[in-house]
């Protein structure tokens, strides 16, 4: 079943339950709660995915509406039923354990929104527009905060991006308006369920934009990797060389304190560092072309583009003689990393058990050839990966 079919099933499920309740007990407060439960269940499948942060399901916004609409007990019951429905319908995570973990996480996040709202409402006293907006905004922040902390613990990464923060703002402002528009400031007016429906539109617009951004980013990354694999498919380089070099170079850059942006450029350069080879004439004697010529040809191609020009600079720097005085420039340092990572892969030939030998060979090279700091970082990375144990020494 496709995602939108699942969303439709969950929304219609909520609507049917609401209609059933309305027929059996006209005017019951459970009918709108059932509709909101359906929206929470469906909203779990529509996630804002800002880069480098936890995905934010738009159900977080409906949780705030639920918090405003029902008591803590009622809201908790609706939340559990809604999350159970999503648990049964969702396709990701594929494993039952993964889905159970997500189910538990969402229950905690939803309960946090409900408890924070009711706690704030009790503390702030008589409702006014400004107090209500404040309480709703804080309640909307609670599940976001828990999701983000969960991601940081899982990924051991505390960094966030501007786009990530903007998604938070979109979710908090929309959730606030959705909750307030449903029953107004006094709890007896408002637009009814039309309100949350209408104020979902900005979130859907944000979701649409993030989806497109994610697709284009992925396509770009895959295009670079495909281009990087071309020399391998042509038999000019060993299989997997570019990917292995990129992986090692990024790890080395990480040890040397490179920023996220510099690591991205280094990875691109590593993936494409043999691209120049496809433009060169094959030497008549069957030997591979000179590395310097390959690097220069590749750098020339990449420097012709706006996005890949920095990667071109790194490739050009790969075969510059290592000189301490100028190696503080990011592209030069990245070039030195690329040279070490590429040489290491050629020496180890992709066999992990040869790591220590390859490292020793690099250390034995003339001092001017490889940057000592990069070799030190290589030592650390290989040690962390457990590749230096019981070898050679």
Give the SS3 label for residue 329. Answer: coil
DSSP, residue by residue, 108-121:
HHHHHHHHHHHHHH
Taking the complex as a whole, how short is the minimal distance between the CB of residue 73 and other proteins, in angstroms?
Answer: 28
**Looking at beta carbons only, is 154 or 218 nearer to other proteins?**
218
Q: Is there a contact between 127 and 186 (Cβ–Cβ < 8 Å)?
A: yes
**Looking at beta carbons only, is 12 or 205 nearer to other proteins?**
205
**Looking at beta carbons only, is 115 or 236 nearer to other proteins?**
236
**Looking at beta carbons only, is 274 or 322 nearer to other proteins?**
274
- Torsion sign across C-alpha atoms 377, 380, 386, 390: positive
Taking the complex as a whole, how short is the minimal distance between the CB of residue 349 and other proteins, in angstroms?
Answer: 22
Taking the complex as a whole, how short is the minimal distance between the CB of residue 274 and other proteins, in angstroms?
Answer: 11
CA 346/CA 329 separation, integer angstroms = 26
| Residues binding other proteins (CB under 8 A) | 129, 133, 163, 166-167, 169-170, 173-174, 176-177, 180-181, 184-185, 189-192, 194-195, 198-199, 201-206, 208-210, 212-213, 215-220, 222-223, 225-227, 229-231, 233-236, 278-282, 300-302, 304-308
Distances (CA, A) of 116 to 63, 70, 82, 113, 371: 11, 13, 20, 5, 55
Q: At 47, which helix (H) or strand (E)?
A: strand 47-48
**Looking at beta carbons only, is 148 or 214 nearer to other proteins?**
214
Taking the complex as a whole, how short is the minimal distance between the CB of residue 277 and other proteins, in angstroms?
Answer: 9
Taking the complex as a whole, how short is the minimal distance between the CB of residue 216 and other proteins, in angstroms?
Answer: 5
**Looking at beta carbons only, is 181 or 336 nearer to other proteins?**
181
Taking the complex as a whole, how short is the minimal distance between the CB of residue 184 and other proteins, in angstroms?
Answer: 7
Instruction: Tokens 């993964």: give the residue.
Output: 98
CA 154/CA 270 separation, integer angstroms = 28
Q: At 174, which helix (H) or strand (E)?
A: helix 162-183
Taking the complex as a whole, how short is the minimal distance between the CB of residue 378 and other proteins, in angstroms?
Answer: 29
Token pair of 202 as six digits: 């900005």
Taking the complex as a whole, how short is the minimal distance between the CB of residue 49 and other proteins, in angstroms?
Answer: 11
- Where on the phi/psi map is residue 386: left (φ > 0), alpha (ψ -120 to 50), or beta? left
**Looking at beta carbons only, is 255 or 280 nearer to other proteins?**
280
CA 59/CA 40 separation, integer angstroms = 5
Q: At 299, which helix (H) or strand (E)?
A: helix 291-303
Taking the complex as a whole, how short is the minimal distance between the CB of residue 278 and other proteins, in angstroms?
Answer: 4
**Looking at beta carbons only, is 148 or 211 nearer to other proteins?**
211
Q: Count CB-CB contacts under 10 A for residue 95.
A: 9
**Looking at beta carbons only, is 290 or 360 nearer to other proteins?**
290
Q: Is there a contact between 381 and 255 (Cβ–Cβ < 8 Å)?
A: yes
Q: Is there a contact between 69 and 141 (Cβ–Cβ < 8 Å)?
A: no
């Amino acid at each position: 079943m496709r995602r939108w079919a699942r969303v439709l099933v969950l929304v219609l499920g909520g609507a049917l339950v609401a209609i059933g309740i309305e027929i059996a007990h006209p005017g019951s407060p459970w009918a709108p709660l059932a509709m909101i439960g359906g929206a929470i269940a469906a909203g779990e499948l529509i996630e804002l995915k800002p880069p480098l942060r936890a995905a934010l399901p738009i159900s977080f916004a409906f949780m705030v509406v639920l918090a405003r609409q029902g008591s803590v007990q009622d809201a908790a019951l609706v939340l559990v039923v809604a999350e159970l429905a999503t648990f049964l319908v969702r396709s990701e995570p594929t494993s039952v354990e993964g889905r159970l973990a997500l189910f538990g996480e969402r229950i905690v996040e939803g309960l946090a929104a409900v408890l924070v709202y009711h706690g704030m409402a009790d503390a702030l006293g008589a409702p006014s527009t400004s107090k209500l907006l404040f309480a709703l905004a804080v309640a909307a922040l609670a599940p976001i905060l828990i999701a983000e902390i969960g991601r940081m613990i899982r990924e051991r990464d505390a960094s966030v991006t501007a786009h990530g923060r903007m998604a938070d703002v979109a979710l908090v402002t929309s959730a606030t308006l959705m909750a307030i528009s449903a029953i107004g400031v006094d709890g007896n007016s408002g637009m009814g369920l039309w309100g949350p429906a209408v104020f979902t539109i900005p979130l859907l617009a944000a979701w649409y934009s993030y989806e497109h951004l994610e697709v284009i980013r992925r396509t770009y990354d895959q295009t670079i990797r495909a281009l990087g694999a071309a020399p391998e498919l042509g038999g000019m380089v060993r299989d997997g060389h570019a990917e292995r070099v990129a992986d090692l170079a990024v790890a080395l850059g990480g040890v040397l304190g490179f920023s996220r942006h510099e690591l991205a450029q280094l990875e691109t350069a590593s993936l494409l560092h043999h691209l120049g080879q496809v433009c060169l004439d094959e030497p008549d004697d069957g030997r591979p072309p000179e590395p310097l010529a390959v690097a220069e040809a590749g750098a020339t191609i990449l420097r012709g583009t706006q996005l890949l020009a920095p990667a071109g600079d790194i490739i050009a720097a790969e075969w510059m003689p290592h000189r301490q005085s100028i190696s503080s420039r990011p592209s030069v340092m990245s070039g030195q990393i690329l040279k070490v990572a590429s040489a290491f892969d050629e020496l180890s030939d992709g066999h992990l058990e040869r790591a220590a030998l390859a490292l020793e060979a690099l250390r034995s090279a003339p001092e001017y050839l490889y940057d000592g700091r990069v070799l030190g970082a290589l030592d650390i990375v290989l040690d962390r990966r457990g590749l230096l144990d019981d070898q050679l020494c």
